[in-house]
Amino acid sequence: MNYKLNILALAFIFILSGCNQKSEKKTGGGWFFKKHEKEIVKIDTLAYQKKLKALANGDTTGLWPNHLRSYPLDGAILPFKRIVAYYGNLYSKKMGILGEYPPKEVWKRLNVEVAAWKKADSTTPVQPAIHYIAVVAQGIPMKDGKYCKRMPDVQIDSALAIAKMGNAIVFLDIQVAQSNVQHEVPLLEKYLKMPQVHLAIDPEFSMKDGGIPGHKIGTMDAADINFCSAYLAKLVRDNNLIPKILIVHRFTQGMVRNYKNIVLHPEVQIVMNMDGWGEPVLKHSTYILYIRKEPVQFTGFKLFYKNDLRKPPHRMLTPPELMKLKPQPIYIQYQ
């Protein structure tokens, strides 16, 4: 099944900027909140349980809600807000809407989606987000031979600046290619220490067999996800932050292995994000097979402005339609 754009077409987009390019520009995260500040909302365990049951949306499989006995630290965003994110890379118009339009137009369009979700679910406030691909898988090897392009600080700083325009949170997305999360995540630590910055990982481009990204779909194990979660949990504890969110992309069985071994931490909230493209019936079945049937914690759903329209009925799913899913996704991503 063809779910994603072939990454080989993008292989030469990033050649002009070096893998290890650094910027001396200072970055800051003080505009968002830390755990000790007045804006932090203490977790109401009864409200948390009630919201999880509401998200289960009458599911009768017995799988949802699946974590009523575990609670996050104070200040947790999920499940009290629904995150609506714009995805992409500032270097490329082909990788998502972030690279297609200037920042003001991005926000004009993102605000339309935010308003649509507020209308579809008036009980859940919407948290806007910028989901930026900070490590991009390539069809050719980089200087270190790992087939991944690490974005320079100046580009990540630009993504943070765009987010600040709308008081959005930020996700830094990692496509490890022939590298691994153990190497790539720590390279972004100075950003992940910022209270508004969270992490996403994409198993599709994790080539554990040494293959070239884009030739076949990659995979990650629960151990990879557990490393990321434990790493984020330590950052939260050490820097007195609100819980981090970890997005894990998935649209096939093999992309995530041994899901039952994924460990939950009160400092980290994990979202399994269905990011396959296609017609509505295909997206529904993918969500049921790989997200609903293999519960971890929270769920997400990705919508493609172009790819979802390729086949009949040539339309994207709407917020009211997604609200009918069991469970309801609490993270929505647009590409």
Range 7-11+36-334 has CATH code 3.30.1490: no
Gap between the terminal Cα atoms of the chain: 19
> 247-299, pLDDT tens digit by residue?
999 999 999 999 999 999 999 999 999 999 999 999 999 999 999 999 999 99
CA angle 125, 129, 135 (to 5 degrees): 155
- The pLDDT-based confidence of 113 (bands split at 50, 70, 90) is very high
Summarize the confidence of residues 49-72 as an average pLDDT: 93
More confident residue, 242 or 5: 242
- Alpha-carbon distance values, 16 to 55, 95, 289 (Å): 45, 17, 41
Q: Which residue has the tokens 């079945």?
A: 285
- Alpha-carbon distance values, 321 to 22, 276, 301 (Å): 44, 17, 12
Q: How many of the other CB atoms lie within 10 Å of CB of 32?
A: 20
Q: Which residue has the tokens 């990879």?
A: 224
> 212-227, pLDDT tens digit by residue?
998 999 999 999 999 9
Half-sphere exposure of 142 (CA within 13 A, CB side): 25
- pLDDT value for 40: 81
- The pLDDT-based confidence of 171 (bands split at 50, 70, 90) is very high
Would the pLDDT of 9 be above 70? no
Contact partners, residue 20, CB within 8 Å, separation at least 6: 150
- The pLDDT-based confidence of 156 (bands split at 50, 70, 90) is very high
> 296-319, pLDDT tens digit by residue?
999 999 999 999 999 999 999 999
pTM given for the model? 0.90
> 65-77, pLDDT tens digit by residue?
988 878 999 999 9
Proportion of the chain above pLDDT 90, given as a percent:
85
Summarize the confidence of residues 153-175 as an average pLDDT: 97
More confident residue, 19 or 222: 222
- pLDDT value for 38: 53
How far is 250 from 201, CA to CA, in rounded Å?
10
Would the pLDDT of 18 be above 90? no
Half-sphere exposure of 149 (CA within 13 A, CB side): 24
Which strand (E) or helix (H) includes residue 269?
Answer: strand 268-274
Which of 205, 303, 247 lies closest to 7, judged by CA?
A: 205
> 189-244, pLDDT tens digit by residue?
999 999 999 999 999 999 999 999 989 999 999 999 999 999 999 999 999 999 99
How far is 199 from 227, CA to CA, in rounded Å?
12
Q: Is the peptide bond before 141 cis (omega within 30 degrees of 0)?
A: no
How far is 153 from 261, CA to CA, in rounded Å?
34
Q: What is the mean pLDDT of the chain?
A: 90
- The pLDDT-based confidence of 12 (bands split at 50, 70, 90) is very low
Written as one letter, the residue type at 278 is: G
